[in-house]
Chains A and B, each alone.
Chain A
Amino acid sequence: MKILVVDDSRVMRTIVNRTLRQAGFDAHPVTEAEDGVQALAAIEADPPGLVLSDWNMPEMTGIELLRTLRSRGNEVPFGFVTSEGSPEMRGQAEQAGALFLIAKPFTAETFTEALTGVLV
């Protein structure tokens, strides 16, 4: 099952990749996108099994990406990995159709807890 990591920060995409491996999800190929616009095109061209997206990005934010996907009937499993983990943000994420929100900074254990059951 392919994982699409969406973040405008290359270092964060690197860290997410690394954490996925540390959490035991290294069997899943990972692709990357730099913002919501790139991610949307990638998802529609070659659907991943899971999207892990930052929230605050140029061109199209993560929440805009998720809402666009759902408005187009695309139910791809989606989770946020973001520095903004307030109850308000978690509520917005859930309402838009996200399965989880992982707040930065995170650990491999956080990833294991959030992704087990989502990734098969």
Chain B
Amino acid sequence: MIETTPALDLVPTVEDVVSIATDVWSSLNLDLEQTAPTLDDAEITGSASVSISGSWDGIVRLDFAAGLPGELAAAMFMMEPADVSEDEIADAVGELANMLGGNLKSLLPEHSRLSLLSVVLGSSVTLRVTGATLVRRVDFTCGGSALRVTLWESSNAVAER
């Protein structure tokens, strides 16, 4: 795991991310195991994010390796992977980001808000987070495929410290 910058006490810890992600995946009867950093940006085929604002301003983002978004959607919808549509895949990974983000937000002081979701899918996804600093990265495997959770803190918040 990588922690790139000294972070405010407000920023959820790696342990928080692991605990919440494990609970979310477990509730869906999906396996999830924390690993060393493995997912390269070039391997990302899906990304879902939600922003948190208020006592902490930042973004919670999930990135997935090839095939994993479809597998997750199939499991959540209880369908065959070949039968899930792109809309259903986007819905499923978005909801995973929503559950992760919402639970991380619950760890923050009062008066934080959760945004609606952003989801990007494709054979090769390049998604840049501008105006924010990477403050947490946690990598996992799910069914042998890689995914990672990153937390990005607004650069304004970093500058004000």
Contacts and interface: CB of A to CB of B under 8 A. Distances in A.
A and B held together in a complex:
yes
Interface of A: 9-12, 14-15, 18, 56, 58, 82-86, 88-89, 103-107
B28 interface: yes
Most A Cβ at <10 Å: residue of B26, B28, B95, B108: B95
Interface of B: 23-24, 26-28, 73, 76-78, 88, 91-92, 94-95, 98-103, 105-106, 108, 110-111, 114, 116
Contact of A83 (B73, B88, B103, B108): B103
Given A85-B106, A104-B102, A9 B114 contact: no
A11 B27 contact: no
**Chain B: interface secondary structure?**
helix
Contacts of B23: 105
Contact of B114 (A12, A84, A106, A107): A84
B78 A9 contact: no
A104 B101 CA distance: 11
Nearest to A106: B27
A10 B95 CA distance: 9
A85 B24 CA distance: 14
A104 B111 contact: no
A11 B73 contact: yes
Contacts of B114: 56, 83-84
A11 B78 contact: no
A32 to B, nearest CB: 13
B77 A14 contact: yes
A89 B28 CA distance: 24
A12 B73 CA distance: 11
Given A86-B106, A105-B28, A107-B27, 17 more contacts: A9-B91, A9-B98, A11-B77, A14-B76, A14-B78, A15-B28, A56-B98, A83-B99, A83-B101, A83-B103, A84-B105, A84-B114, A86-B108, A88-B110, A89-B106, A104-B24, A104-B27
